[in-house]
Structure 1
């Protein structure tokens, strides 16, 4: 591979945990380090928003997330070719559906809760098995990383 950029999975601490999901949870992103390795500037790719409104994909410049006080962990996933980045990377990630709305305000319990079905709006009963909620971690680990690897956009050197 000619010129390439390191690609990491970063997990950062959240200000508040979701009571409907197993804890601890982290905000999980793909970070492409576009400066000389170790200097830490680049672009983070992730889904943002919440599961009451629905999430959306975005990418944004990020200066040295390795020194962030909220960083929990970093994992080197591999490398992406400078000639494919950012165009091919972005084009692929934009095609992946972000986590949709999965919670709504329940007027019976006066709480925001996971939704069983939307039409008609139905909530789970106490003790009823619930479908797992999907957020940034699931999108990153179950959709984005596998898709980028399958497309050859993240490879080992």
Structure 2
């Protein structure tokens, strides 16, 4: 059975947060959320966890459809998420960049790279009614 795959944005401080959401339970809208958490001072970590229906959360901002993944391919989707490098420590305490030759990467950049790779590897398939997000 195909499952819908979205990017989900929630309110955050100082920036909003974004990750990939797979709606594994269409009857109640809940699913699995794949994202990186942390910051550019301490680095980030990859986290995958069960997630309620995004629209029911007070911090919900936006949900955009990416495409669909076959129910049997959710493990492969997670493998792709783990392939994308997690943003590490990028700033010193004084706010200067550790490596000025590289742009800062946060959850937004990580999510875009994941979405691009999911589509490129054919794990997530776009239909006529789906649009790429991020």
Structure 1 stretches lacking a partner, 5+ long: 18-24, 107-112, 118-123, 125-129
Match of 2:19 in 1: 29
Contact 2:9 2:18 in 1 (8 A): yes
Match of 1:115 in 2: 97
| Cα distance in 2 between the residues matched to 1:54 and 1:8 | 25
Q: Provide TM-score, normalisation by structure 1.
A: 0.75
Correspondence for 1:147 among 117, 122, 125: 117
Q: Indicate the structure with greater strand content.
A: 1
Q: Aligned residues, how many?
A: 127
| Cα distance in 1 between the residues matched to 2:110 and 2:88 | 11
| Cα distance in 2 between the residues matched to 1:114 and 1:50 | 14
Shift of 1:156: 2.1
Partner-residue secondary structure (3-state), 2:88 = coil
Match of 2:9 in 1: 11
1:104 aligns with 2:98: no
Partner-residue secondary structure (3-state), 2:73 = coil
Partner-residue secondary structure (3-state), 1:32 = strand
Match of 2:132 in 1: none
| Deviation sequence 1:74-128 (CA, Å, 0-9, x none) | 101110011111x11111111110111111213xxxxxx03244xxxxxx8xxxx
Q: Indicate the structure with greater helix content.
A: 2
| Cα distance in 2 between the residues matched to 1:58 and 1:36 | 22
Highest CA radius of gyration, 1 or 2?
1
Superposed CA RMSD: 1.7
